[in-house]
Amino acid sequence: MPTATESRRTGIRHGAYGGTVTTQVIVLNGGSSSGTSSIARHLQALLPGPWLVLGIDTLIEALPPAAPTDDDGIAFHPDGEVRVGARFRDLEAAWNKGLAAMARAGARVIVDDVFLGGAASQERLRRALDGPRVAWVGVRCDAEVAAGRERARGDRVPGMAARQADSVHAGVTYDLEVDTTHTEAIGCARTVAGWLRERDGPPAAGDARPEPVGQTEPVGRPAPVDHRDLADVLADSGRALTPLLGADWSVPAGALEWSCRATAAHIAHDLLAYAGQLAALPDDGYLPLDLVVHPDATPAQALRAVAACGKLLCDAVAAAPSEARAWHWGPCDPEGFADMGTAEILLHTWDITRGLGAPWAMPGAACTAVLRRLFPEAPYREGDPASVLLWCTGRGELPDRPRRASWTWAAAVAD
């Protein structure tokens, strides 16, 4: 059998939640940028056995590139409205029957969906899924928070998130609801996995596994960081720093010698450097270029540079095949650059907020992913993920472990 690390190469993981799961289809319904895709990926890592993730985006990506019209296809309007025509409905009906056929053939399927028609959309899918055991899960998110994620991602029509935040849930009945407004995707996925375990029965004999908790080493390997996770962290950082633009950014960023403004410029510099490596794939060093944020740039302009360079890195990670390698003190894969970008954003946002007197709590799931890849020997059991990451990078202490005077992370892979 493959190890946990090998299993991510094959796409099949051993779930952290063992036992009897008789559900064959999990339907996640939520508006654009609500976090359904991230929850689906975490469920693949948490649940026993392989689960396929298929969704409305999969269907849309399979459509021919011809320009659609409201009458026959699916059209995305500049104000964020999405309209579908009769021909698309026919294709959607065939798609839904295909999902049901896979489930009846024995596959376990997570459907990542957006019920544009609310209850009517659910009813169409319910009729197609007659037979397999289905779990209907609503994924809610405050419209303002979803819109912020949408802006950070930059790959969605502006306005979709706000339009869909409530409308996709109108009249829909669920077995379970989660909310990503204040809860990370991994936390919502754990809620779904735990609920499935309770609904479907006790663990099979000899197959009980402990649930992941904040004070212990994560069970199994978290889902690899990708461009969507990176975009989520970038959006979180923007939400933390934007309200502080009226403060004095010339003060030191926490314990760093740099000012808060210079630290923001540094984030942008490193994100662009990582993006350049993934675009050019050099194997012997970094590209001979540097980003210089003009010394007269305001904090707001510096943050726009961070957002722009973060978007470039997200796009580079999304475009690079998993087998791509670029130099970072050895060959590094796209996931490694995504983890390093995530770490830069997390840690330096933490530094800046300390300097400005508005402490920010780093998201635990993102910290866990960074630790697993960049600090594999981290003392996971000696604190929550954020505290352990701060210790690993010389920013904090752990019980019986003094603050580190020097540190480095390991991103290169051994091919």
Rg of the chain taking only CA atoms, in angstroms: 22
Bridge-based pairing of strands 134-140 and 176-179 is parallel
Whether 283 is catalytic: no
Q: Are 404 and 379 in contact (CB under 8 A)?
A: no
Contacts of 111 (CB under 8 A, 6+ apart): 25, 26, 27, 28, 54, 55, 99, 125
Burial per residue of 54-82, b for 16 or more beta-carbon CB atoms within 10 angstroms, e otherwise: bbbeebeeeeeeeebeeeebbbeeeebeb
Q: How far apart are CA 188 and CA 38, in angstroms?
A: 10
**Listed residue (97, 152, 148) closest to 126, CA to CA:** 97
Catalytic, out of 57, 72, 315, 384: 57
Catalytic residues: 57
